[in-house]
Amino acid sequence: MEYFMLLATDAEDVHEARMAARPAHLERLEALKAEGRLLTAGPNPLPDNPERVSGSLIVAQFESLDAAQEWAETDPYVDAGVYAEVLIKPFKAVFK
């Protein structure tokens, strides 16, 4: 298993949708954490308003790029229309 970086960019005006989908999104991250596969995850706060975010970063282990893509596509934020785009790349954890 290798690490992959999932960098998601929010669509415009999705704060309410993000908040509604957040519990289910966090539940999936907790599952990755419980499996020992989550390196880090968190939102990207806006520089001028840290209470609002522009997207999210997740670094976790997956069997393949395809598996990471499949996991990302089923995220509650995707289903809720929060994410406009998700960039997925292999990630090498140099420091943990």
Whether the full predicted model's pTM is greater than 0.75, yes or no, is: yes
Residue 86 lies in a domain: yes
Residue 15 forms part of a structural domain: yes
**How many separate domains does the chain show?**
1
Let me know if residue 96 belongs to a domain: no
**Better-predicted residue by pLDDT, 50 or 85:** 85
Examine the pLDDT at 41 and tell me if it is beyond 80.
yes
Report the CATH number that the domain containing residue 61 is assigned in CATH: 3.30.70.1060
Judge whether 63 lies within some domain.
yes
Asked if the structure places residue 65 within a domain, the reply is yes
DSSP of the chain, one letter per residue? -EEEEEEEEE-TT-HHHHHHHHHHHHHHHHHHHHTT-EEEEEEEEETTEEEEEEEEEEEEEESSHHHHHHHHHT-HHHHTT-EEEEEEEEE--S--
Identify whether 83 is part of a domain. Answer: yes
Domain of residue 81: give its range: 2-90
pLDDT band at 51 (very low <50, low <70, confident <90, very high): confident
